[in-house]
Amino acid sequence: EKNGVLSCDFKELSGRGIHLSGGDRKTLTPSNHFAKNNHIYNFSRIHKTYHPAINVDGVGQNISHNYIHDAPHTGLTFAGNEHVFSYNEICRVALETGDVGAIGIAMDWSYCGNLLEYNYIHNVHGSGRYVPAKGIYQDLPVGGSTVYGNIFYDLDEGFMTNSGRYNVIVNNVFVKCTPSIFLNVYRAPSHFVLGGPWKLVERLDRINYRKPPYAKEYPWLPRVLAKNDDPPIPYGNIIVNNISYDGRFLHLHQQVDFNEILVEKNIIADTEVLDWRKVDQEQVV
């Protein structure tokens, strides 16, 4: 408990820089570990992917005021709950890869309650021809995060989620991002059932997601596998009071309905505001 890395320089690393793990996910007891005021660059030189500057898992860690840059893949990854990522600067990552985030998390509905605030993410362009890099990437099906007061500048994509629900995206500035925000639907039914390739249902069962503390802290979580629910749809995302300039504000998968999300009070100065096409459900594969 309360272990940390403070004011260190890490450079020319074969793999990752810092790994922190702690807390109790079943009870949501925080570890209070921290990584603050570190400079990490030219990392992941041998292990080219999934060896970030900082990786955390567990509950309740604080990652702040770090400067991360120059790497072939991701800059910062995390798993778990109730972490805080604030005042970090990340740039020039994803230099040799695509389909990656400067900050990334994936593969568990229960990774909720994380706060990403006042970070500066800039100049990130993936080398992948077809799948771009993202500033913050919440891959299948992570949701329940608060993304507040960040600056996203000159990125392939600003914020993206694959089927993530109940994210709060508020008071951010997006410049030269196409799009600034992307809500996608991951249409692979085999991933959302017991025995699926990423064990999404099994991961939920391990932490008793229908009971406290998860059912109390994240009241939407027990409903994700209800009979009348459609697990891939990113319900409940809130997109409010953001600024988007010189890119495209919002990209919605064609199966995302505006009645299922909240988009209001945003200032948009883009040449293209929205990429969204509503189609008959029978035409969607």
DSSP for 23-87 reads: SBTTTTB----EEES-EEES--SSS-SS--SEEEEEB--EEES-EEE--SS-SEEE-SBS-EEES
- The per-residue pLDDT for range 48-85, each reduced to its tens digit, is 999 999 999 999 999 999 999 999 999 999 999 999 99
Please check the confidence at residue 227 and state whether its pLDDT lies above 90. no
Going by C-alpha positions, the residue among 198, 117, 109, 194 that lies closest to residue 152 is 117
Q: What pLDDT is attached to residue 282?
A: 38
Q: How far apart are CA 46 and CA 12, in angstroms?
A: 10
**Taking a C-beta distance cutoff of 8 angstroms, is the pair 259, 252 a contact?**
no
- Which whole number is the average pLDDT over 246-263? 94
At 187, the pLDDT band (50, 70, 90 cuts) reads: confident
Please check the confidence at residue 281 and state whether its pLDDT lies above 90. no
Q: What pLDDT is attached to residue 280?
A: 45
At 284, the pLDDT band (50, 70, 90 cuts) reads: very low
Please check the confidence at residue 271 and state whether its pLDDT lies above 90. no
Please check the confidence at residue 16 and state whether its pLDDT lies above 80. yes
At 179, the pLDDT band (50, 70, 90 cuts) reads: very high
pLDDT greater at residue 189 or residue 255: 255
Residue with tokens 């994936």: 106
- Which whole number is the average pLDDT over 1-8? 96
- Which whole number is the average pLDDT over 153-173? 98
End-to-end CA distance of the chain: 48
Residue with tokens 């953001």: 242
Q: What pLDDT is attached to residue 135?
A: 99
Assign 105 to helix, strand or coil.
strand
- The per-residue pLDDT for range 28-53, each reduced to its tens digit, is 999 999 999 999 999 999 999 999 99
Q: How far apart are CA 228 and CA 235, in angstroms?
A: 13
At 278, the pLDDT band (50, 70, 90 cuts) reads: low
